[in-house]
A and B are shown apart, each in its own frame.
Chain A
């Protein structure tokens, strides 16, 4: 069973379109994340979310929005797609807890390759 699954794995779309990437985790975690990995391979956190708070990386344009229908899902909606949005997007999850102490291992999905043309 895949712990963190994302769909679609590949997405090619035109500039200006609105698209969503879905994410589901079956680990019983209550915190989920979205990361973006650009062409230079830098991994940057976009959002982290649990039932108490949404933390948004201030550099993320407001065209990006996370939507969580329940604890097991955190979908990423992107409006008015731009060429610079082309990247690999990773969903992840973990238990909310004591930060670094227990490890609070963060589990990542396999990524969604978004190409905007």
Chain B
């Protein structure tokens, strides 16, 4: 999996939007952009993924730059429960097999009440 770069930590206030950036300048044409998060003392959980177009789901939105070298995870209205480590991960469309996830350091998101 190609490498991603994220800020070590970010801080935001409750009920405000949060924009979590991710740089992936070496992304290949077959790499999908995935976001997972890990709440304290829990296993990672899927948030969202995309290829080229922006994506929305009930948890978040994913904005992908036109050149695909960066993306932004958007939490529209952060709650205290969103405090977690957020991981931006590239996954190749490998065509099958038992491929897993390669985690980086992620961004530690702190939410202030």
A residues adjacent to B (C-beta < 8 A): 4, 31, 33, 35, 41-45, 48-50, 52-55, 90, 92, 96-101, 103-111
Contact = CB atoms under 8 A, between A and B. Distances in A.
Nearest to B33: A100
Most chain A C-beta atoms within 10 Å of own C-beta, residue among B30, B43, B46, B95? B43
Given A106-B46, A111-B42, A99 B97 contact: yes
Which secondary structure characterizes the binding site on chain B?
loop
A42 B103 contact: yes
Contact of B42 (A33, A48, A110): A110
Most chain A C-beta atoms within 10 Å of own C-beta, residue among B30, B44, B105? B44
Ranked 4 nearest A-B pairs via Cβ: A100-B32, A108-B43, A100-B91, A99-B94
Contacts of A109: 43
